Structure 1
Amino acid sequence: MSQANSLTTAPINRTLLLFALPTLGSSVLQSANGSINAVWVGRLLGEQALAATTNGILVMMLMTAFVFGFGLASTILIGQAVGRNDLRSARQVVGTAMGTFAPAAVIVSAIGWILAPQILALLGTPPEILALADDFLRVTFVAMPAMMIQTMLMMALRGSGDSMTPLIFMAMAVVLDVVLNPLFILGIGPLPEMGIAGSALAMVVANYISLGAMLCAIYARKLPLRLTGADLKFLVPSPHILRQLVGKGLPMGIQMIVVSSSMLTMMTMVNSQGVDTAAAFGATQQLWTYVQMPAMALGAAVSAMAAQNIGAGRWDRVGEITRSGIIFNILLTGALVVALFFLGRQVMSVFLGPESPALSIGAHISRLSTWGFLAFGVSMVLFGTMRANGQVIIPLVILIIALYPVRVGFAVGMKGLLGPDALWLSFPVAMVSTLILATICYKQGGWRKSSPPEAPAPLREQAASNLLGP
């Protein structure tokens, strides 16, 4: 429990940064994995194959949304339990989460395999890349159970205060995926040449090996959340904990559905602009994953750290955790935004090639849109704090407003005036509107009333007025 104690007693700035860095490292590795694989696909198979993977990856984001939401819910519940020094309850959360959502992952994988052609057709995937996208998506769905289960385990470990173990096994998955991609794509050695399906198969093999190794390490190192002996009964879902996971995870899962479906809606508009624009947008997405990494890592760290402090009744630290997360986000995200503004074209040429007609389109998209991630980063910290106390409805409502009436509405409504630029400007417009709404809700303070019964109410009420400072 020493890690947990450090999150509730150690100096906030240093502890938050050190806790967030491994999560940031995991994000860097995951994004680097996608980027390097995009280079393999783009350079070895061409721009049409790269555009096909962009469509497939967006669909995967949609299909994994619910499990990701329940993973966030488990992070909150485990963090609060660890903050109360209640390890048994933390293990019950792990057992219920795994016992419920491991079978769900298999079901989602099977549904995705069956419905892949219909999903791609609904996206308006260009006919010239439809077969490639189908090959990629079908094989990728085979990796779904391993990806979902490993994501759930990683988020549970972070809730307990361990952000290093997820980093180690994310690194393993990435290295395997990067090495295997060209082997399976080209059929090097005794391997058959599989083309774009080989890229997806590399993901399958890498994720299953990494998951198996991670489970072995959890038990070999006797990590606190492992289930052994009598604790294995926790794999039979507890109705009480399942209700909490569903109550918190369902809105967060819907939130991820909203984010992914909104992006899929935007993708249909991008696809209508032609293959070059679709490829340019795919390359831009690769760069945006890096720009948003500090926001995602710090938002997750703030949520886990705030949850433990709320569980321990340390409300006096929650506001400072939020302020520290905002400052770190502005510094880190701002540096990446500036770097991409000046070097975006050069970096994008890695994915598209220096002579690609999509290169100038991608550079234009980046210049118009990337600055919005500054607002995105601050919003993620505010959402992370609210979620740490179980408030998951406010972020959901805000994102629904920002991503549909605002982003999609702007892209469609302003198309006649701005042309294709309406698509690209709709991204920062939505991010700024998210920040404005998140700030209003955070300052209003209703999210503080969502504390679990175990939290000491008198201390909570006394400290609530101090969260925002003077």
Structure 2
Amino acid sequence: MPDSSQPTPAARGAKGRARPNLTEGPIASNLLWFMLPTLGSSILQSLNGSINAIWVGRLLGERALAATSNANAILFLMLAFVFGFGMAATILIGQAFGRRDMDAARRVTGTAFTLFAIVLVAVSTVGYVFTPQILALLATPPDVVPLAVDYLRVIFIGMPAALMLGMLMMAIRGTGDSLTPLWFMILSVILDSGLNPFFIEGWGPFPKMGIAGSAVTTALANWVALLGLIGWTYLKDLPLRLRGAELAYLKPSRQLTETIVVKGLPMGLQMIVVSGSAMAMLGLVNVHGVDFTAAFGVALQLWTYVQMPAMAVGAAVSTMVAQNIGAGQWERVAKVTRSGIVIVLAITAIMVASLAAADRTVLALFLGSGSPAMPLARHIQLLGTWGYLLFGVMMVLFATVRANGAVVAPLVILTIGLFVVRLSVASFGQRWLGTDALWLSLPVATFVNLVLAIAYYRRGTWRKAHMSVGGRDPNPGSAEPQAA
């Protein structure tokens, strides 16, 4: 039954701390203010990785930097699955929170926390033991392997904290609170980036650990942030804390486990599809020489930031839609979607225009103003960056449908666009367009994806999909939603 301890629709915590209201009031402004801290967290996370790479490259050299790159490829695969399972839990929490069923939200939290802990400890243990074999599968260069082993083994020790922290942050956002995760992301970034050189070089009282020191600071930062976030959850009596008899929810529920896995796996695979497409494109670009590879690599760095608004707005839309579905307010779902599209187009357009105006300055940070790859990098970003406007709209539509449990269709659509269409244009289009086919392949693929996403959103079966807590329909007897 719904938890009557939540006295108002604004969902105040037990300490009287007001929380964002995503099921009532103005949609656009609530969505915007809920999204901004999520965007800030994404930017900080990317900046943290860039800063750490600078420390490693400057203090230890190219071999050490290559070692971290190989390790990060493994971590991305883990992050992809955690994203999927974490998003599934977040949607369940959002739907439960929307109908003020705090008991259901806490049951989801308990199952997800224990399930993640068991899986991550097991994977970390296996990864630590078989680190050399994993690196061999990646064809890691022999002279990089010793450094990569030292780095990756420490990363495996800290991996449970890093991914548990990500899962808990996503769960808290499911309650409509995107600000608390931001504060603990800031804490993690400050510790990680700030302490890196101390552990690498042995400054002051710190031991000189070389590349392992960089991994130690990452692990330490994540463990401190995770324990701090758990402590803060209880100190402030946030909605997802478990007390007394609720601690029994830490025993995973079979029904909830099945729902999280079945719905989370396709969402995790979406990230694998995106990453796999980029890796395949890199192979097509590499055959044209080092300048092409360098220019494309820089474009990918910039596109990481350009796509952040789409990811942040998508996550916010998914949570807001899930809460409104849980509250039975289907009439707000289409309005949330429209508001999300307007917001993502506005923010992405500003970023694309700013990059076009200052591309030489930005690219010089990576290449140097005299680099022979500079003209090509400018050409690539001018041809390809605008496609992220379409990508943003697509992500909002996907966020809406997955908030009701429709997760397979977005995976299929992405696979068609990013593998079938993109790689076909990039491979065969060079006969007519030359190398421009490589850079135009992403906008063309995204356009096809968007057309399919619109068709599925307007006429698909996503409105009849369900994600349930304990086998219950999250919104029994609700009216059919109106298309946007």
- TM-score norm. by structure 1 comes to 0.89
CA 1:132/1:414 → structure 2, altered by over 3 Å: closer, same or farther? farther
Q: Which moved more, 1:113-122 or 1:174-183?
A: 113-122
Q: Which moved more, 1:366-375 or 1:450-459?
A: 450-459
Partner of 2:72: 57
2:115 to 83, 95, 100: 100
For the pair 1:460 / 2:483, whether they are aligned, the reply is no
1:340 to 355, 360, 367: 355
CA deviation map 1:214-256 (0-9, x unaligned) = 1111111111101121111111101121121122112212223
The letter for the 2-side match of 1:248 is K
Partner of 1:79: 94
1:29 to 44, 50, 56: 44
Partners of 2:285 and 2:63 lie apart in 1 by 14
2:464 to 426, 442, 449: 449
1:325 to 330, 340, 355: 340
Q: Secondary structure at the match of 1:35?
A: helix
CA 1:38/1:429 → structure 2, altered by over 3 Å: closer, same or farther? farther
Q: How many residues align?
A: 465
Q: Which moved more, 1:433-442 or 1:73-82?
A: 433-442
Partner of 1:413: 428
Partner of 2:176: 161
Shift of 1:280: 4.8
- 8 Å CA contact 1:311–1:454 kept in 2: the answer is no
- 8 Å CA contact 2:20–2:30 kept in 1: the answer is no
2:273 to 249, 255, 258: 258
Q: Which moved more, 1:255-264 or 1:87-96?
A: 255-264
Partner of 2:449: 434
Partners of 2:23 and 2:165 lie apart in 1 by 26
For the pair 1:373 / 2:373, whether they are aligned, the reply is no
Shift of 1:84: 1.1
CA 1:431/1:97 → structure 2, altered by over 3 Å: closer, same or farther? same
CA deviation map 1:406-428 (0-9, x unaligned) = 23333343456666654443333
Partner of 1:350: 365
For the pair 1:202 / 2:217, whether they are aligned, the reply is yes
CA 1:251/1:332 → structure 2, altered by over 3 Å: closer, same or farther? same
- 8 Å CA contact 2:20–2:177 kept in 1: the answer is no
- 8 Å CA contact 2:96–2:474 kept in 1: the answer is no
Shift of 1:193: 4.5
Shift of 1:277: 5.5
Q: Which runs of 5+ in 1 are unaligned?
A: none
CA 1:5/1:60 → structure 2, altered by over 3 Å: closer, same or farther? closer
Partners of 1:282 and 1:177 lie apart in 2 by 25
CA deviation map 1:301-345 (0-9, x unaligned) = 100000000001000000000000000000001111111223233
Partner of 1:303: 318
- 8 Å CA contact 1:349–1:359 kept in 2: the answer is yes
- More helix as a share of residues: 1
Q: Secondary structure at the match of 1:153?
A: helix
Partner of 1:68: 83
The letter for the 2-side match of 1:308 is Q
Shift of 1:199: 3.0
Partners of 1:422 and 1:184 lie apart in 2 by 45
Shift of 1:11: 0.8
CA deviation map 1:108-156 (0-9, x unaligned) = 2234445555555555656676665555444433331111101110111
CA 1:5/1:449 → structure 2, altered by over 3 Å: closer, same or farther? farther
CA 1:338/1:156 → structure 2, altered by over 3 Å: closer, same or farther? same
- 8 Å CA contact 1:158–1:304 kept in 2: the answer is yes
Shift of 1:14: 0.9
- 8 Å CA contact 2:284–2:427 kept in 1: the answer is no
CA 1:140/1:403 → structure 2, altered by over 3 Å: closer, same or farther? farther
Partners of 2:213 and 2:298 lie apart in 1 by 20
Partners of 2:295 and 2:65 lie apart in 1 by 10
Partners of 1:349 and 1:393 lie apart in 2 by 41
Partner of 2:187: 172
- 8 Å CA contact 1:320–1:467 kept in 2: the answer is no
The letter for the 2-side match of 1:27 is S
Shift of 1:184: 3.0
Partner of 1:14: 29
- TM-score norm. by structure 2 comes to 0.87
CA 1:456/1:81 → structure 2, altered by over 3 Å: closer, same or farther? closer
The letter for the 1-side match of 2:479 is R
CA 1:258/1:421 → structure 2, altered by over 3 Å: closer, same or farther? same
Show the 5 A alignment for 1:280-319. 280-319=295-334
CA 1:267/1:44 → structure 2, altered by over 3 Å: closer, same or farther? farther
- 8 Å CA contact 2:192–2:217 kept in 1: the answer is yes
CA deviation map 1:4-61 (0-9, x unaligned) = 7711111101111111111111112112212322333444455665555444433321
Q: Which runs of 5+ in 2 are unaligned?
A: 1-5, 12-18
CA 1:435/1:30 → structure 2, altered by over 3 Å: closer, same or farther? same
Partners of 1:359 and 1:143 lie apart in 2 by 38
Identity of paired residues, percent? 55
Q: Secondary structure at the match of 1:314?
A: coil
Partners of 1:285 and 1:11 lie apart in 2 by 36
Partner of 2:410: 395
CA 1:354/1:127 → structure 2, altered by over 3 Å: closer, same or farther? farther
CA 1:240/1:457 → structure 2, altered by over 3 Å: closer, same or farther? closer
Shift of 1:299: 0.4
- 8 Å CA contact 1:78–1:160 kept in 2: the answer is yes
Partner of 1:152: 167
CA deviation map 1:37-91 (0-9, x unaligned) = 2333444455665555444433321122222111000111001111111100100
- 8 Å CA contact 1:125–1:271 kept in 2: the answer is no
Q: Secondary structure at the match of 1:226?
A: coil
Q: Secondary structure at the match of 1:460?
A: coil
The letter for the 1-side match of 2:181 is P
The letter for the 1-side match of 2:483 is L
